[in-house]
Chains A and B, each alone.
Chain A
């Protein structure tokens, strides 16, 4: 499988592309399309569940992406259809392909070049998408751009989870990547209701001439994000998310902050958007595991919507 002659396919328009079209037929979700090309892999396990819902795992060969990889996935969720998108393990972003893959032809890997992932989702009326991947982990010097756009038609619902961890802490990597740029944008009909753009990069990586002589030591990315090593952002929108948002909102309002002498292990915030038809939640945690268990518990209400058998596959 790894002998796949990627170099010869470099000019192919389908490299890294994938497409999912799911729709509801007689209370079963069927895929009229489920296709992908290296290095993207899509897998839909059979689900035995009380609720009509489908899962697709988004994966990459070798368990990660390298500089120059460009993944592009387009998803159509049909009327009344529920789709859950998951990953198996965190999306690892390498500067170059690790291990023996580093010996691949140079045409395959451009060291230090950007890795991109694009996702375009269209949601028909009354449909729902739950995008609950594992976090993205950018390794040292990796450069990653992610652009995710969601187009909702009336009464469609969506939960988008986007999270990033600080790197391989066991190797001393802490926010040591070059660049992480993530855009999540939600449109309802044609109206833009949310556009979240997060840019994490080392200061002056592009403009070192801005270093002021005599100024204090430069403030690095890890200084800015300390003491946390994982940041998550959730966008929740639409009727199927109401219960989950109401419960989170209730818990949020119960918080009362008194002066503390050091930061808490986990911090989260919630803001309603678009006249409370949706919400944006942000979470920061000392460890990725802290954030994961918080998310698992905060989104527990989804069990009623996608079924317990499906929900328990997220946040493993």
Chain B
């Protein structure tokens, strides 16, 4: 890891980044409310949730991060950039993520965090001064602006894993770092939700993040880093079935889906998801 990548990681890992993740509990508030955590072992219950949530999120979202990151990296390296082709690939992945996320609460949270990441890139990571930009940066800024416009016109959705792939690809963060950081941030935001839901204290959360969560994030990254979405080129009427079909994104925790969807049914709630 070179110095500029380290510096980027420090910026992206900042919990004060305006990405809207502080209003998302990814179903954890609902999990607690539905009685899945007993008061005697709230810390263990929190770790279990992180474990299961991270497992299903990694398996379902990481292939999208990876594919989008590759699209952006390819576009970024092109001598004569094919922006329409890159956008079409990104939108196809966004459509597929929409069709696979069959839960309106998760969709809502994913879209609001996704577009926030693109805004962060345009407003927070662009060069402050007017004037000549390195051509490579200008090209990436154009890609992000075009995508943001499409989202605003509701021509695409702007889901979180898609936009994370765009952001980290545009910043030149390596795919490996992008994958790891995405899962780390998912886990950290669950623990931070846990602190606000009072299932654990702030010191305990830090301790868990360092000791219990680290092996989980590492294991899930290793498990899912090579998975692809595999579907972007498949035509709808191609009913042929291959082993590849079963190596793509998947949900691994149906209980988590039910609880996350039921978030909006809570009589009172402090999170948006």
Contacts and interface: CB of A to CB of B under 8 A. Distances in A.
B236 A225 contact: no
Interface string A215-238: 110010001110010010100000
B96 interface: yes
B236 A187 contact: yes
Contacts of B235: 190
A193 interface: yes
Given A183-B245, A196-B102, A219-B52, A224 B255 contact: yes
A219 B254 contact: no
B259 interface: yes
Interface in B207-244: 212, 215, 218-219, 222-223, 231, 235-237, 239, 241
A224 B102 contact: no
Contacts of B239: 120, 149, 151
B252 A199 contact: yes
Interface residues of B, number: 53
B100 A195 contact: yes
Contacts of B258: 267-269, 282-284
Contact of B237 (A190, A256, A269, A270): A190
Contacts of B218: 212
Nearest to A207: B223
A218 B236 CA distance: 39
A258 B255 CA distance: 18
A269 B262 contact: yes
Interface in A161-216: 181, 183, 187, 189-201, 203, 207, 210, 212, 215-216
Interface string A282-295: 11100000000000
Interface in A252-280: 252, 255-264, 267-273, 280
B94 interface: no
A197 B261 contact: no
A193 B99 contact: yes
A258 B38 CA distance: 15
A242 interface: no
A224 B253 contact: yes
Contacts of A145: 246
* Interface range for A: 35 or more
Contacts of A120: 239
B119 interface: no
A270 B250 CA distance: 19
Interface in A136-178: 145, 147, 149, 151
Given A210-B219, A255-B265, A231 B246 contact: no
A181 to B, nearest CB: 5
Interface stretch (B2-10, B28-36, B71-79): B28-36
Contacts, number: 141
Contacts of B265: 252, 255-257
A217 B218 CA distance: 16
B251 A199 contact: yes
Nearest to A145: B246
Say whether chain B's binding surface is mostly helix, strand, loop, or mixed: helix
B48 A271 contact: no
Contacts of B114: none
Interface string B120-160: 00000000000000000000000000000000000000000
A300 interface: no
Nearest to B239: A120
B174 to A, nearest CB: 21
B99 A192 contact: yes
A224 B52 contact: yes
Contacts of B261: 269-271, 282
B251 A198 contact: yes
Contact of A257 (B30, B95, B241, B254): B30
Contact of A284 (B95, B245, B254, B267): B254
A225 B99 contact: no
A118 interface: yes
B254 A225 contact: yes
A260 B33 contact: yes
Contact of A259 (B33, B51, B96, B237): B33
A273 B262 contact: no
A197 to B, nearest CB: 4
B165 interface: no
Nearest to B107: A271
Given A271-B105, A282-B254, A282-B257, 20 more contacts: A118-B241, A192-B96, A192-B236, A195-B96, A197-B60, A197-B248, A201-B252, A212-B218, A216-B212, A219-B48, A224-B255, A252-B265, A256-B267, A258-B33, A264-B35, A269-B261, A270-B261, A280-B103, A282-B258, A283-B258
8 contacts: A151-B239, A195-B231, A196-B102, A201-B252, A228-B255, A231-B255, A262-B38, A282-B258
Interface of A: 118, 120, 145, 147, 149, 151, 181, 183, 187, 189-201, 203, 207, 210, 212, 215-216, 219, 223-225, 228, 231, 233, 252, 255-264, 267-273, 280, 282-284
